[in-house]
């Protein structure tokens, strides 16, 4: 069984499971670690997941008041957000993104230092959510995870979702290998970890977070230990799409070579800089 350790925090991760016992173990472990870390925890479940909901409640019975919430599709949610917010025949991508935004804002502007969100993604297996909608959602939801205080875990049932779709969904999730943080001066995006075939399709949605900046974009890849050709290509094309504003990439020699191999030197707006040891985190 895969362990979900503290390194998961601040990432957007997906896992596939094959049995009810497996998802129960994954979700209870996730919830217990997040509660112990002092996070607010919200778990999204399918309509008929009452047994899983009860198991989660037992696993985190020591949670503080208001710290732990489970939402089953179609049951709604009360409290500070008010009203039936999760589910319904017309509940779509924009509705879920709006709900997540309000949850994060309500949490981080209140008494909790971080929020950990997890979804039993069977609830998306409905007519209102086509595979294209699901892929679009997973692509767009990356915008919430530039804040290291926000963690997301998406759990997909191999018995309900096809292998090809799961592979595409997995590639747009940056974690657990890739981390990113927004912050610092101007438009500052920091990448850490590894960018490879398992997550490279997450990079366009991450770069979109700073694409509209009317200034220099600083892409700090100093702690990016590996980038494959596809990932390097995304970075070069991003810089080329902003010809009137510089994109400065601070990186190691290996990442620089990967960028040069896919045409970095042909993009005047792309500036490569050597990484600086012990550079401050923006």
The CATH number given to whatever domain includes residue 245 is 3.30.750.24
Calculate ∠ Cα 264-267-272, nearest 5°. 50
Domain count, the chain: 2
The pLDDT tens digits for 155-167 are 999 999 999 999 8
- Cα 252 to Cα 207, 276, 281, distances in angstroms: 19, 9, 16
Q: Residue 112 sits in a domain of what CATH number?
A: 3.40.50.300
Q: What is the pLDDT of residue 76?
A: 54
Kindly state whether residue 1 falls inside one of the protein's structural domains. Answer: no
Q: Of 148, 176, 204, which residue sits at a domain end?
A: 176
Residues 20 and 136 in one domain: yes
Residues 210 and 77 in one domain: no
Q: Which domain holds residue 257?
A: 179-274
Kindly state whether residue 143 falls inside one of the protein's structural domains. Answer: yes
Q: What is the pLDDT of residue 282?
A: 37
Q: Does residue 1 surpass a pLDDT of 70?
A: no
Q: Does residue 205 surpass a pLDDT of 50?
A: yes
- Cα 275 to Cα 157, 168, 185, 255, distances in angstroms: 41, 32, 17, 10
Residue for token pair 């500052």: 188
Kindly state whether residue 67 falls inside one of the protein's structural domains. Answer: yes
What 3-state DSSP class applies to 76?
A: coil
Kindly state whether residue 246 falls inside one of the protein's structural domains. Answer: yes
The pLDDT tens digits for 3-58 are 455 567 788 899 999 999 999 999 999 999 999 999 999 999 999 999 999 999 99
Q: What is the pLDDT of residue 91?
A: 87
Q: What distance in Å separates the CA atoms of residue 228 and residue 219, rounded to the nearest whole number?
A: 17
- In total, the chain counts a number of residues equal to 282
Sheet of 68-72, strand order: 12-17, 150-157, 115-120, 40-45, 68-72
Q: Of 141, 176, 211, which residue sits at a domain end?
A: 176
């Amino acid at each position: 069984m895969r362990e979900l350790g503290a390194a998961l925090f601040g990432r957007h991760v997906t896992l596939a499971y094959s049995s009810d016992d497996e998802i129960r173990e994954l979700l209870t472990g996730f919830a217990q670690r997040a509660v112990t870390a002092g996070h607010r925890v919200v778990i999204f479940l399918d309509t008929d997941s009452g047994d899983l909901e009860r198991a989660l409640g037992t696993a985190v019975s020591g949670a503080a008041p208001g710290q732990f919430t489970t939402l089953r599709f179609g049951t709604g949610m009360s409290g500070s957000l008010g009203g039936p917010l999760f589910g319904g025949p017309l509940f779509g991508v924009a509705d879920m993104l709006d709900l997540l935004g309000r949850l994060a804002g309500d949490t981080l502007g209140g008494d909790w230092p971080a929020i950990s969100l997890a979804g039993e993604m069977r609830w998306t297996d409905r007519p209102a959510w086509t595979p294209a909608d699901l892929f679009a959602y997973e692509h767009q939801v990356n915008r919430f995870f530039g804040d290291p205080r926000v963690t997301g875990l998406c759990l997909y049932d191999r018995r309900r979702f096809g292998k090809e779709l799961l592979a595409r969904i997995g590639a747009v999730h940056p974690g657990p290998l890739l981390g990113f943080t927004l912050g610092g001066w101007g438009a500052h995006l920091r990448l850490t970890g590894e960018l490879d075939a398992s997550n490279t399709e997450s990079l366009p949605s991450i770069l979109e977070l700073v694409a509209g900046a009317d200034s220099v974009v600083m892409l700090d890849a100093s702690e990016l230990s590996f980038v494959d050709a596809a990932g390097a290509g995304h970075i070069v094309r991003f810089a080329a799409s902003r010809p009137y504003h510089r994109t400065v990439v601070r990186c190691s020699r290996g990442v620089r070579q990967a960028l040069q191999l896919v045409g970095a030197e042909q993009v005047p707006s792309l500036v490569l800089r050597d990484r600086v040891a012990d550079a401050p985190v923006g």
